Structure 1
Amino acid sequence: MSKSLFRLGLIVNPWAGIGGPAGLKGSDGNAAEMARSTGAAQRAPQRMARALAALSEERVKITTLGFAGDMGEGVAANWSFEVLGSAATEPSTAHDTVRAARALCDAGCDLILFAGGDGTARDIYRAVGDAVPVLGVPAGVKMHSGVYAVSPESAAEIVAAMVRGDWVDVSCEEVRDIDEDAFRSGRVSTRYYGELLVPRVGQYLQATKVSGREVEELVVADIAAEVVEQLDDQTLYVVGPGSTTAGIMVELGLDNTLLGVDVVQSGKLTASDVSAEQLEQLCDQHPGDVVIIVTAIGRQGHILGRGNQQISPSVVRRAGPQNLWVVATKSKLSELEGRPLLVDSNDRDLDLSLEGFIRVITGYQDSVLYRVSASGV
């Protein structure tokens, strides 16, 4: 069945921020227990409820999923909700947050929306890394991480933009947490833990622009520079046809088959203009990861199944959806006029599994989330 509804994963850390009103300067460790003993009210469920209330107009287009009780289901009483599990203990712990995040990722949610603080962001990062977009509803005492909307209502605006298929930028933002014991002693000491993939609604400013319009050659060069920075020597890269992907080969100083599929490893051309059978053999023989790099066909939006049939369903499965990299200029995406990117691999089950939102590299350190469909709607 096609994923016609936006799948919004919810995680609520019910006790996040409870130590703030009590003057405990955080909610980690014994602070949360001390705050609960005083009868302090939960903040995070109320903050998530505000975000969902602001999303009410988009409700018919969204299905929510997550853990039962206070960790998600409790704040989504009037929403379609899919229960994936429940907290192992009451009150819930960081271990439950990790379990919930992994379950949401495995269930193919389009976005994890969480209510909590920096400790919650740390737990979610530990669970999913940058495998799925994540957005925080600020509910903690201290929030040094760059993963939060400025308010519950602002979080709702970002989610609504994704649901409508509007432009939504995405970037890797830092997860940081403060040493609460040091903070209570008057010292501010934060630690970097990693980065989450975070959507944001903002202006689409491009460094390589003239009179507000993208200069195609410069933007393609920017995209190529961004991709090349991410390459490693252990991965086998399958480079699909097109002028945007050709820019990556130019950046690498390699010959390119403009209308064919090339294979690269360790900065060298492993094979050029391969057939589906040749590519499957190369992937089977490679012991490490396989990454597929494709672009969208102008005005049509196909990323699989048009002009790159050499990239067979078995190759896509070998790589995995997390290793399907899409590159495109924002001008090319704008030509779609809001229509989704399309997959037509000749394997219906595979195509349906790829539906949802994908990260599209649109420049140097610049990318957006864009919807993928197997049906064109």
Structure 2
Amino acid sequence: MPEFFEKYPGSEMEEEKFKKNIYGNEKFPPEKAKEHLDALLAGFKEHFFSLGYHEETPVLITSGIDSSVRFIGSHISVFKPYLIQERIPNPGIFMRQNCLRTRNADKLLEDSFALGWGSYFTSLGAIAPAERLKETCVDTFNFFKKQLNISPENILIRINSSDDDLVEACRENLNDENLEFDKEKEEYYKHKIGVEGISGRSFNIALRNSDGKGFADVGNIILLSNNKKILGVELALGSSTILKELYGLDHVLDCSPVIGLENIDNNLRRKFEDAIITSVVLFNEGLRPFGKHNRNRILKQYLKALAYFKMKSGIDFEKLSEIITGFEKREFPDSEDRLSGLIIEIIKTYET
């Protein structure tokens, strides 16, 4: 295992939590989550930088650089100008990008709703010139094999058999045993990026679950094109989905853990955590729940959910403030502003 994936021993958690999985890893304690995430991001950068890819600077989730979305939900928002103007440098560009997808927002107050995915995550992405499909596949599979030490038997490619170019690129790197053909609906292999006339065909990369049973998607490679030609090759990986499988985590939210809610109902806990994480992230970028813009309205939804979850769980404001402050310190250690007090004051207005 590479040095930056050194495992952290634990002495206070029960032995079962430290049982090694098929990747030779143990669950890490929540206090170590950011170190593991940072290590994954550093490994991604090290790998693609060493191959000559140019690094792109991430943008704020609330930057508004992409008019097709309210929040940055993928690195493709940053890559679009390179793609549209057909000026992707050789061999490509890579980046890490904090993202927010708010599909949970409208369901948070439904008691029966079970949170499958967190709203906030860090995306690992790259884009390469159209002619570099095979090379991009080589670079990607080598990241899994060499940087993450994942053997080919634990990688599955979910692909449409009619995409001959994608199939050929995969077969040059993996065996047919690694390929799963046509098991998903047609739209699973198709992509839109919010630009009229540009769409994508893709295959998904899945890792074997940490218990050895089944596979879970962690990313994809997409051929983006207009009605005339292929414009570029995109790689998209989810950092939290990768870490979840490598370390056998219970939920993707454990990659950005909120410590202090472990003893409440698990379904309520995960929604509570998601609301805290999203609210803190958006407050940290300067957004507030005032005004008529959709971004402000969505933040207000998460804050109202916080007030509801506080009531449902029986946690008092002092405890909630401690929990929010703890998350702030872990997620944004360099920030001098602590926003928990402001968040609490706004939540109080929803209880009156």
TM over 0.5: no
Structure with the greater alpha carbon radius of gyration: 1
Q: What is the TM-score with the length of structure 1 in the denominator?
A: 0.23
Comparing both structures, which one devotes a greater share of its residues to strand?
1
Q: TM-score, normalised by structure 2?
A: 0.24
